[in-house]
Amino acid sequence: MTGLTALRMDANIVVLGTDNVGKSGVFITQFIKRKPAIVKMNTCLILIIVVLALTVRFLTRRFIGEYGEIESIYSNSVIVDGRQQTVNIWDSPYSQEGMSPDSTTLEKRLQWADGFILVYSICDRASFNNISKLLLSIKATKDYVGLEKVPVVIVGNKQDLQHRRMVLSEEGWLLALSADCQFYEVSAAENYHSILMVFHGLVKSIRESRLAIKKPAGIKSIVKSVSAVFARRQTDSL
């Protein structure tokens, strides 16, 4: 198996943010309810036809007992760079306690997640301020459980409500730059494609971070290193 084909074809994503920013009711629903259908043309051109399938949300919503009592995980398939990818999204209600670095809930989320989407509303300054806290909590827990860098995307939602804007785009960009994250401003209510961009962006980062993880030394290289040490000892004793 080559390095690329050996890569896992699924990505676990946790969506976080304060209440009413549009995480689940709109953001996740937009992504889950539209099922991409793939039609292969003679020219090998792949067309992604987005069809509305509200039933998919109902069918794919499943309860995962071991992660808690009120958590839900949704799944959807997307095509990123021509490869089919299953995206599992952990949707859970916001709780201040659950986000403290020593909380077992956050630790569980971190261990499950390959990446995070942190959502705020551009009309809600407090929800934006909360993103910094979420970043700190993720970083602290990540260090605590000894994980490498976790891909994170910051999303400013409700872009359609310009007249009620409280957070400038530049502030979002600056925060993302300082935290080394991707940044998007979207309207989950009005623009499905921007939501798709967010998920695609994160899935790509997850793939890149997996590629960056060094392959463990194989048996051949271990034998090679041991023989090199013995060969050196023999020449030293001459």
Of the two residues 191 and 209, which places its CB atom closer to ligand GTP in the complex?
191
Yes or no: say if 126 and 164 are a contact pair by the CB < 8 Å rule. no
Cα 207 to Cα 201: distance, rounded to the nearest angstrom:
10
Choices 17-25, 46-54, 82-90, 110-118 (CB under 6 A): range interacting with ligand GTP: 17-25
Compute the distance between CA of residue 123 and CA of residue 79 in angstroms, rounded to an integer.
Answer: 32
List binders of ligand GTP among 19-48 (CB under 6 A): 19-26
Shortest distance (Å) from residue 30 CB to ligand GTP? 9
- Closest contact distance (angstroms) between CB of 210 and ligand GTP is 29
Rounded Cα distance between 144 and 166, Å, is: 34
Q: Give the residue with the Cβ less far from ligand GTP, 84 or 96.
A: 96
For residue 158, the minimal CB distance to ligand GTP (Å) is 4
User: How far from 45 is each of 38, 39, 151, 193, CA to CA, in Å?
Assistant: 10, 8, 30, 20
Can you tell me which of 141, 157, 182, 205 binds ligand GTP, judged by CB under 6 A? 157
Match 């695609």 to its residue by tokens: 200
x/- mask, ligand GTP, residues 64-83, rule CB under 6 A, reads: --------------------
Q: Which is nearer to ligand GTP, 68 or 204 (CB)?
A: 68
Is 69 exposed, middle or buried (CB count within 10 Å of its CB: 0-12, 13-18, 19+)? Answer: exposed
With CB under 6 A as the rule, give the number of residues binding ligand GTP.
Answer: 18
d(CA 134, CA 141): 11
- Residue 124 CB, shortest distance to ligand GTP, in Å, is 10
What track of x and - describes contact with ligand GTP for positions 90 through 129 (by CB under 6 A)? ---xx-----------------------------------
Give residue 210's Cα distance to chain centre. 12
Taking CB under 6 A as the rule, does residue 134 contact ligand GTP? no
Which candidate, 111, 99, 192, places its Cα nearest to that of 145? 111
Contact with ligand GTP (CB under 6 A) among 188, 196, 202, 203: 188
Radius of gyration of the chain (CA): 21
Q: Should residue 158 be labelled a site residue for ligand GTP when binding is judged by CB under 6 A?
A: yes
Quote the CA–CA distance of 128 and 226 in Å, as a whole number: 54
CB within 8 Å of 108: residues ≥ 6 apart: 67, 68
Kindly tell me which of 56 and 189 has the beta carbon lying closer to ligand GTP.
189
Select 97 or 236, whichever has its Cβ closest to ligand GTP: 97
Which two tokens mark 49? 């036809």
Q: Which residues bind ligand GTP (CB under 6 A)?
A: 17, 19-26, 93-94, 157-158, 160-161, 187-189
